[in-house]
Amino acid sequence: MDTRPLGTTGPQVSALGLGCMGMSALYGDADRSEAVATVHAALEAGVTLLDTGDFYAMGHNEMLIGEALRTAPAGLREQALTSVKFGALRDPDGNWGGVDGRPAAVRNFAAYSLQRLGVDHIDVYRIARADPDVPIEETVGAIAELVEKGYVRHIGLSEVGADTIRRAAATAPISDLQIEYSLVSRAIEEQILPTTRELGIGVTAYGVLSRGLISGHFNADRTLAVNDFRAHSPRFQGDNLRHNLTLVEALREVAEHKGVSVAQIAIAWVLSRGEDIVPLVGARTRERLTESLGALDVTLDAADLAAIERAVPAGSAAGDRYPAPQMAHLGTTE
């Protein structure tokens, strides 16, 4: 598989990373054995980057990845690079309780993650959302100490704006910013991408299928469980959803003309935005993984890109990408 660098200081990783969140949480029930098989299939296909968060089902996702690494065929475990987010606080009912970026908390979170993953170091470690009460310099400084001690290899960021990126980069080398980027979430193009590019920081793009919305597999009749993120996401509600699905149908025409699937053209579009961008695909079955990996074989020429742009013009999606209270904690205001 092609590889891409995570910034000028980070590791070389597979051109597509595997986002493991949906294997434990936020998109309804997932099948554990199929999830483990999907991680193995990804490693076999040459995927090296596995993304998780310690708060995805309160440690469940890290333990799942730990199991997948333990049971991976010989040689594949060694190629896996773990990207872990921390900081989000939960309670036993799963409720969210803010974020903690204090240095003592950083060390505590890391100690538990290493155990759950069953590894001696984390490849990229990042706070999921900047703690509004703790300067980013303190949080990043605490991760830098973990780098010095060998427990972490690289420092990442997640969903922060240009000023915070600059402050973090002035504190320690930053490999990549993890942030939402897709045909329907292009806000990073204005300020954030120019900033990461100026500073030599890579981007791991999440939500490249807008959480399944632009995968070509989502429809308005789908019933979402109350603990499914999409049941509360503005983009998946009523008129917004109906409008957004018309964009998907326009994209489907472009995809069919090229002989590829909607998900593949959506992922290929993110891949085409620059070598500094690594899409994280949220496949949780081998079938979806195979479809996603097919995007690596899709080449988009100028005519294709123009057709995609006509089908899904920038800013054409209806509804914010998160519910209102969560929008305040993101790197972009859209």
Of the two residues 51 and 304, which places its CB atom closer to ligand NAP in the complex?
Answer: 51
Task: Give the separation between CA 174 and CA 157, rounded to whole angstroms.
Answer: 7
Asked about 56 being catalytic, the answer comes back as yes
Q: Minimal distance in Å, beta carbon 256 to ligand NAP?
A: 16
Number of residues interacting with ligand NAP: please give it, by CB under 6 A.
30
Q: Which is nearer to ligand NAP, 114 or 263 (CB)?
A: 263
Per CB under 6 A, the list member of 54, 159, 176, 304 interacting with ligand NAP is 159
Q: Is 21 in the site for ligand NAP (CB under 6 A)?
A: yes
> Of 98-106, 136-144, 281-289, 315-323, which segment contacts ligand NAP by CB under 6 A?
281-289
59 binds ligand NAP (CB under 6 A): no
Report the chain's C-alpha Rg in angstroms: 19
Q: Which is nearer to ligand NAP, 148 or 248 (CB)?
A: 248
Residue 291 lies near ligand NAP (rule: CB under 6 A):
yes
Cα 115 from Cα 63, distance rounded (Å): 9
CA-CA distance, 1 to 41, in Å (whole number)?
A: 13
Question: Residue 210: is it exposed, middle or buried by C-beta count within 10 angstroms (0-12/13-18/19+)?
Answer: buried
Going by C-beta distance under 8 Å and a sequence separation of 6 or more, which residues neighbour residue 246?
A: none
Which residue number, 237 or 302, has a Cβ lying nearer to ligand NAP? 237
Work out the number of other CB atoms within 10 angstroms of the CB of residue 78: 10
Residue 26 CB neighbour total at 10 angstroms: 16
Binding-site member from 25, 51, 105, 195 for ligand NAP (CB under 6 A): 51
In the list 87, 173, 202, 207, the residue contacting ligand NAP (rule: CB under 6 A) is 207
SS3 content of the chain, % helix, strand, coil (to 5): 45, 20, 40
* 31 Cα distance to chain centroid: 20
Those residues with Cβ within 8 angstroms of residue 187's Cβ, 6 or more apart along the chain or in another chain: 332, 333, 334
Q: Check if the beta carbon of residue 207 is closer than 8 Å to that of residue 185.
A: yes
Residue 185 near residue 210, CB atoms below 8 Å: yes
| Residue nearer to ligand NAP on the CB measure, 40 or 211 | 211
Residue 156 in contact with ligand NAP, rule: CB under 6 A: no
Q: Residue 225: CA atoms inside 13 Å, Cβ hemisphere, count?
A: 8
Among 178, 185, 195, 196, binds ligand NAP (CB under 6 A): 178
Closest separation in Å from C-beta 132 to ligand NAP: 16
How many Cβ atoms from other residues are within 10 Å of residue 310's Cβ? 10
If binding is defined by CB under 6 A, does position 292 make contact with ligand NAP?
A: yes
The answer to the question of residue 211 lying near ligand NAP (CB under 6 A) is yes
Indicate which residue of 27, 56, 151, 206 is catalytic.
56
Segment 90 to 129, residues that bind ligand NAP, using CB under 6 A: 128
By CB under 6 A, which span of 66-74, 189-197, 284-292, 305-313 interacts with ligand NAP? 284-292
Is 283 an interacting residue with respect to ligand NAP (CB under 6 A)?
Answer: yes
Q: Answer yes or no whether residue 209 interacts with ligand NAP by CB under 6 A.
A: yes
Q: Does 27 bind ligand NAP (CB under 6 A)?
A: yes
Residue 62, judged by CB atoms within 10 A of its CB (0-12, 13-18, 19+), counts as buried
Backbone angles phi, psi at 17, to 5 degrees: -105, 160
Asked if 22 touches ligand NAP (CB under 6 A), the answer is yes
Smallest distance from ligand NAP to CB 302, Å: 25
Residues that bind ligand NAP (CB under 6 A): 19-22, 27, 51-52, 85, 128, 158-159, 178, 206-212, 215, 217, 263, 280-284, 288, 291-292
Question: Which residues are known catalytic residues?
Answer: 56
